[in-house]
Amino acid sequence: MTVKDLFGGMEGGGTKFVCAVGTGPDDLREEIRFATTAPDETLAQAVAFFKKHNVAAIGLAPFGPLDLDPASPRYGSITATPKPGWSEANILAAFRRAFDIPLAFDLDVNAAAIGEYIFIPANRGLDSLVYFTIGTGIGAGVIANGKIVHGLTHPEAGHIRLPHDLAKDPFPGNCPFHGDCFEGLANGPALEARWGQSGDSLPDNHPAWELEAGYIAAALANVILTISPRRIILGGGIMERRFLFPLIRAQVKELLNSYVASPVFAGELDDFIVPPALGKRSGVLGALAMAKILAKE
Amino acid sequence: MTVKDLFGGMEGGGTKFVCAVGTGPDDLREEIRFATTAPDETLAQAVAFFKKHNVAAIGLAPFGPLDLDPASPRYGSITATPKPGWSEANILAAFRRAFDIPLAFDLDVNAAAIGEYIFIPANRGLDSLVYFTIGTGIGAGVIANGKIVHGLTHPEAGHIRLPHDLAKDPFPGNCPFHGDCFEGLANGPALEARWGQSGDSLPDNHPAWELEAGYIAAALANVILTISPRRIILGGGIMERRFLFPLIRAQVKELLNSYVASPVFAGELDDFIVPPALGKRSGVLGALAMAKILAKE
């Protein structure tokens, strides 16, 4: 790798794809966004974009769930998704046919965690963090011991079960797999189904938000107790309502009830539960970081 | 370090201490067990045991919560524990006064995870596992990316919140910090308080066990979704009732509902949710492994 090498990053969401070329957040040469349509058409657009540039490696970070097991015949594909046409779409194979360069492959939210970890010096000094996306879907990427966490598959922390007080919130949850898991209670469609209007149109003082912050706080408290991360980053469409941050921080403190003996919990958690430092580019920049890391290996 | 070097391991539980000297599970030269009394007396017994042996390093693994931050003035101590006399007891400092050799320090359940990971070849091939102890207390040690997970403090996965159906189980939970968290609903004292007799005396066909297995399965499902470990080891007094394993495995599968796309979940989870391969010695052998690792650094 030489200093001049350029890298590509692709964040493939269920609604839109973002592709970028450059070396990092301060050196993005070109970026495009386009709607997620059928797999062939969408992937062809991404391939055409990267073909225009002389990139040393590309990081691919589509929505999941993904088959991340290099020993699996389906490695590189999206597995079971309700999104029409995309089940079994093999993203990595499509790129392998088009490019003879190193290709990194991981989940979109893992890329976002990697982007925040690699490109933000204040995060890089930590050895652990969690990046949650909270929007139409909910998911989390986990960094522990300085690397993204994979295992049997990848984390799917949007689907953990939380206490659900049916007297306070009779909404049964909308997850097709788990009903009232975290995502089923707190994603964008749940907000809309519960209150009869989209989250975007709910005013800041609507009771929806205290409930929403409560579910997010309950999930965060469980994640804190399970892996004790040094920072939690909350991205995704719902978290653009920034007034949610102090509500969530206060409820996390209440739930942990001084049990976690870290000086961090004596404060207001302003540096512990934070918005993404890379804004909406955590994912695409993380994909680019994946390409850089792979090229160096 | 030479081939002949011996190492010491101390697992300091709330009820008893176990100290051993050797090089691993097949080469334990001496082991003692004694009751946990006042800190001075108990630690003096442990120190006296290791003084008899020429050990190259000692691993210390007491019950927690612990201050594991080397930059903290309280590093090496137990922090807030309800156990009389032990709050603020500095275990590491007591050993530093007695020994001029490398001393490793971590939580008892982290040591158990390390012991199972380092000494069991079938685990060593994985890069992640979780060790839960389920008994008077509940806790978990997490290995991710090949190393024990620390962060702000250490994981305390016994205290995650789970769905609690008060109609099915009106017991309010006994955790002084969180009421009906996992530990508050499923530890040994909760079993006894709910059913009016000790867990040991409850027959295998008592309805207590289906409920107990349900809480354990709910916690495991959340941990699986949060970090996707390659194996979960269940130790501690309650897990000596081995008929709980199939009950737990079945409920974990039901809770995940085919969402986690790993071939492992097509099976019965017999190799995924397992008893400790080191039996009751996971902790003390893990402490010994901590000493070996530190001496090699």
Q: Average the pLDDT over A126-146 and give the result.
A: 97
Where are the extended beta strands (E) located within chain A? 6-12, 16-24, 27-35, 55-62, 103-105, 129-134, 138-144, 147-148, 232-235, 273-274
Give me the tens of pLDDT residue by residue for chain B, a chain 297 residues long: 455 699 999 999 999 999 999 999 999 999 999 999 999 999 999 999 999 999 999 999 999 999 999 999 999 999 988 788 999 999 999 999 999 999 999 999 999 999 999 999 999 999 999 999 999 999 999 999 999 999 999 999 999 999 999 999 999 999 999 999 999 999 999 999 999 999 999 999 999 999 999 999 999 999 999 999 999 999 999 999 999 999 999 999 999 998 888 989 999 999 999 999 999 999 999 999 999 999 998
Q: What percent of chain A has pLDDT over 70?
A: 99
> What residues does B139 pair with on adjacent strands?
B133
Asked whether the beta carbons of residue A152 and residue B67 sit closer than 8 angstroms, the reply is: no
Q: Is A185 on the interface with B (CB under 8 A)?
A: no
**Nearest chain A CA: its distance from B31 CA (Å):** 32
In the stretch 12-41 of chain B, residues with CB closer than 8 A to chain A read: none
Query: What does the pLDDT read at residue A4?
Result: 65
* Cis peptide preceding B65, ω within 30 of 0: yes
Q: Residue B258 class from Cβ within 10 Å (0-12 exposed, 13-18 middle, 19+ buried)?
A: exposed
Type and span of the H or E element at B140? strand B138-144
DSSP character for B154?
Answer: -
CB contact under 8 A, A153 and B261: yes
Q: How wide is the angle at C-alpha B90 spanned by C-alphas B278 and B93, nearest 5°?
A: 95
CB-based contact, B169 to chain A, within 8 Å: no
Q: Give the model's pLDDT for residue B81.
A: 84
Please give the residue of chain A at the shortest CA–CA distance from B265: A152
Q: Is any Cβ of chain B less than 8 angstroms from the Cβ of A89?
A: no
- Chain A's closest residue to B221, CA to CA, is A160
User: The pTM is what?
Assistant: 0.97
The C-alpha of B54 sits at a distance from chain A's nearest C-alpha, in angstroms, of: 33
In chain A, residues with a C-beta closer than 8 Å to the C-beta of B254 are: none
Q: Which of B88, B86, B2, B102 is nearest to B50 (CA)?
A: B102
Among B65, B218, B225, select the one facing A155 at the smallest CB separation.
B225
